[in-house]
Structure 1
Amino acid sequence: MIIEDIKIIDILQDGRGVARTEGKTVFVENAVYGETLDAEILAEKKNFLEARKINTKIKSDYQRKPPCPYFYECGGCSIMDINYDTQIELKKNLIKNALKKSTGLEIDGIEIVKSPEFRYRNKIRLQVDKDGGLNYLETYSKKLVKIDDCLIANEKISENLDRIEKITKDINQKFTASIEEITIRASENNILLNLQGNFDNNAIAYIKEKYSTSNYIINLLIARDLITINGEGYLDYKIVQKEFKISANDFYQVNDYQIENLYGVAREFLGEKQKLLDLYCGSAASSMSINDDHIVGVEINKNAIEDAKENAKRNGLRDYKFIAKNAKFIDSSFIIKEKIDAVTVDPPRAGLDKDVVKTIANAGIDKIVYISCNPQTLARDIKRFMDRGYKLEKIKAVDMFPQTMHVESVVLMSRK
């Protein structure tokens, strides 16, 4: 079935266009915000249709030629064909609509701190084909898209991609398809490679012998085991004059230009002289950037907690405690016993467990700073806090992910 002359009026977080027909909303693959098009219906659901663009009838006023040659195949970026100012407006609408839907709050004029459009990522993850070539996944599929460069990867990664590919090709051609995926992370001084796949003893021995003196820090990830081939297995980063050890699987914000802006907003919202509970603290780069001392951090990743303790020593903290636990196992009595003044949370995209919201509220915490990469789960959790006596005080966004519909938001909630 074909529907004709529909106009794209919004963009979903996954990059699909949104249109309206007389009866239903239509989600359209490969659509450009502002264009009028014909689309083929792929699936009909109760409240919406799924479709793909067949052809453009009226070109969007906001459209531009994407500077990346892989854009129309690669699934890494979804809105590079839209000018950057319009990307920012779309992200404002994304946050605004999520808040209105979940909480009923209508908030206009949400500020988003802009980023440089390109060369901002200090980390990329690529698929490795059987010959060792580096690839992204094709949009909406598992097909591989061979790349020679990535415009959102920072200069250090970009300049080293061809040399990194020589390593993956060498290994995969000697030991059939050993590497399945590679994560490349860059700091100011080093590059770390996490090679994930199936490595037998011969492959491991070969890699250790040949690459033990590599200029790159190389780790092998085999199931849940990590083997460090050379170097210390981690990178050092600096944020607002503080130094942080970030290990192979530690979480770290990917936008080099925006990380200080993000934590600066959170620090402003939090205020000074607080004893802080940081849930989902990772290696504590966030909590130590937001609060100089007096930190209790909770994180399920035991290795990240060890790094948090090391980072506390590096930065001269005197009053800190880091605990390897799931956030939902922290109860209200623990928060009261630790004399916590404020809570920061930076959960995964799924947001907070409802029991975590209940625990924070029952402890009588007056101030909550919530950092989120997902407007939908953020809005849901704000509503849960509102139902327990909190109000939304402030919200500000930071564009950590240009060329995609992802955006980071910082929220301050206070008890009424």
Structure 2
Amino acid sequence: MKKKDIIEFEVDKMEFGGTTVSQLGNREIHMKGGISGQKVKAAVKKVRSGKADVKMLEILEKSTLETQTPCKHFNECGGCTILSIPYEKQLEIKEKQVMDLFLKQDLFGFQFQGIQGSPQDKLYRNKMEYTFGDEVKDGPLTVGLHKKGRHIDILTVDGCFLVDQDFVKVLTSTANYFNEKELPYYRGINHKGYLRNLVVRKGVNTNELMVNIVTSSQIDFDMTEYKEMLLELDLEADLVSILHTINDGLADAVQCDELRILHGRDYINEELLGLKFTISPFSFFQTNTKGAEMLYTMAREFVGDHSDKVVFDLYSGTGTIGQVMAGAAKKVYGIELIEEAVVAANNNAKLNNLNNCEFIAGDVTKTVKNLKEKPDLIIVDPPRPGVHKDAIRDIAGFNSNEIIYISCNPKTLVLDLVEFKNYGYEVEKVKCMDMFPNTPHVETVVKIVKK
């Protein structure tokens, strides 16, 4: 076997994060994507001793696991890679994948409480970030998601199962409107063009909708007609915010050089477990609202009685979990790197009349050392790369009896738990929460205790 060879094989094992491992002769085949039991054709990208990395080219035969009817974009869109598997089976697969990661790191002896399914396995997303482009070179304008394995081709995903009809109506009407205007989309390869992104956000429990059209400043286009078109749509939600964001950044990410309010206000309201939150166009908020309520309830149950305790909420984002814990706590300190998120967290705490919450802007690794008060309980909810080793050292240095670790990436979670073990912490409880049905991702809540 050598680079660029075309091979055919049956997928053996799905690993967490959407990768698969198969055995072909005496060689272990690693591939992004795939479902156990599928027969696939793939191109060899890299060959190592006893291993090979390949890229899937074609599914030759479906797996016997694939008994669900997926959306019309399945296997073209890069989103819901396991949509064809029944939801209960998806949960079994994710549960086993997480347990395998724990066992691989010799983490035993804890109470494993299984996996909690999402209240909705479809129509659950409260935010979608779409990209302008075309599906084929020089084809008509499209607005949607990237094709699987492609950096350029964009599908208008009007049959997506993850969002409700309000998202679909905004998406398709936007695509039709700007097709008629014949405005160029922004091309990252030469940084020329105008239309960049369409971001739609919804307050699931408040029924408020935000539409944010993101462009460069290269064309001076009057968005009044576009705004009026959106306001005339027959939507279930209340369209309270229409925004125009100017973004001239070179990165392929939504950032704001200038924000123009076309209609209403620059935020939507949401409610979570009896608390109120204002969500700006760039705020982080869990994309599965009903799932988030279950996730934070799960974390609160792991904590148990925390009355009169000092709580550290690290990587606190907009302060959601800290405020959920604040009702019974003596004091909650939150640390978050992104200043806008900290401002939002403090504003949300005021909105909820929580006088015992203080959110601080700073790098957890550095800021945590400067906190004078000692915590009775620490909550960590880090981004995908996990907790820096220096931060683990400092967090462990507080000698808190309990730490609740909420993870969106069990691969880095288990590595961090091994580090915490070196400082005398043992895993007591683990439970998974499926926040992202039909995708390879899952959240995990862990309680570790000082021995």
Determine if the TM-score, normalized by the shorter chain, exceeds 0.5. yes
> How much has 1:168 moved relative to structure 2?
4.9
The superposition leaves residues 210-256 of structure 1 with CA deviations (integer Å, 9 ceiling, x where unpaired) of 63995443140423424132433111110111101121211111112
Aligned to 2:243: 218
Aligned to 1:207: 223
Mapped contact 1:117–1:402 kept (Cα < 8 A): yes
Look up the SS of the partner of 1:305 in the other structure.
helix
Write out aligned runs for 1:311-322 (5 A).
Answer: 311-322=348-359
Aligned to 2:297: 264
Look up the SS of the partner of 1:281 in the other structure.
coil
CA distance in 2, matches of 1:304, 1:11: 35
Aligned to 2:260: 228
What letter matches 1:237 in structure 2?
E
Aligned to 2:253: none
Mapped contact 1:242–1:315 kept (Cα < 8 A): yes
Write out aligned runs for 1:264-303 (5 A).
Answer: 264-271=297-304, 272-273=306-307, 274-292=309-327, 293=329, 294-303=331-340
CA distance in 2, matches of 1:249, 1:168: 24
Look up the SS of the partner of 1:202 in the other structure.
coil
- Greater displacement, 274-283 / 149-158: 149-158
Matched, 1:85 2:94: no
User: Structure 1: which 5+ runs fail to align?
Assistant: none
> How much has 1:404 moved relative to structure 2?
0.6
What letter matches 2:357 in structure 1?
Y
> How much has 1:276 moved relative to structure 2?
1.1
Mapped contact 1:332–1:363 kept (Cα < 8 A): no
CA distance in 2, matches of 1:172, 1:394: 56
CA distance in 1, matches of 2:212, 2:388: 30
> How much has 1:377 moved relative to structure 2?
0.6
- Of 208, 213, 219, which aligns to 1:190? 208
Mapped contact 1:373–1:407 kept (Cα < 8 A): yes
> How much has 1:282 moved relative to structure 2?
1.4
CA distance in 1, matches of 2:406, 2:316: 11
Look up the SS of the partner of 1:257 in the other structure.
helix
> How much has 1:118 moved relative to structure 2?
0.8
What letter matches 1:136 in structure 2?
L
TM-score by length of 1: 0.89
> How much has 1:15 moved relative to structure 2?
2.7
User: Structure 2: which 5+ runs fail to align?
Assistant: 135-139, 187-192, 232-238, 250-255
Write out aligned runs for 1:370-385 (5 A).
Answer: 370-385=405-420
- Of 323, 343, 352, which aligns to 2:360? 323
Mapped contact 2:22–2:30 kept (Cα < 8 A): yes
Look up the SS of the partner of 1:111 in the other structure.
strand
CA distance in 2, matches of 1:154, 1:369: 33
> How much has 1:106 moved relative to structure 2?
7.4
The superposition leaves residues 322-360 of structure 1 with CA deviations (integer Å, 9 ceiling, x where unpaired) of 1111111124452xx223211111111111111111111
- Greater displacement, 373-382 / 143-152: 143-152
The superposition leaves residues 72-93 of structure 1 with CA deviations (integer Å, 9 ceiling, x where unpaired) of 1110111112222221111112
- CA 1:80–1:208 in 2, change beyond 3 Å: closer, same or farther? same
Write out aligned runs for 1:102-113 (5 A).
Answer: 102-105=105-108, 110-113=113-116
- CA 1:314–1:29 in 2, change beyond 3 Å: closer, same or farther? closer
Look up the SS of the partner of 2:268 in the other structure.
strand
CA distance in 1, matches of 2:48, 2:182: 43
The superposition leaves residues 130-179 of structure 1 with CA deviations (integer Å, 9 ceiling, x where unpaired) of 76521211112212223223211234323433334355546762898412
- CA 1:46–1:126 in 2, change beyond 3 Å: closer, same or farther? farther
Mapped contact 1:96–1:108 kept (Cα < 8 A): no
What letter matches 1:141 in structure 2?
R
CA distance in 1, matches of 2:98, 2:287: 21
Mapped contact 2:365–2:391 kept (Cα < 8 A): yes
CA distance in 1, matches of 2:244, 2:393: 40
Aligned to 2:66: 63
The superposition leaves residues 280-334 of structure 1 with CA deviations (integer Å, 9 ceiling, x where unpaired) of 1111122112332521111111111111111111111121211111111124452
Aligned to 1:249: 282
What letter matches 1:375 in structure 2?
P
CA distance in 2, matches of 1:28, 1:129: 28
Aligned residues between the structures: 410
> How much has 1:182 moved relative to structure 2?
2.2
TM-score by length of 2: 0.83
CA distance in 2, matches of 1:165, 1:13: 35
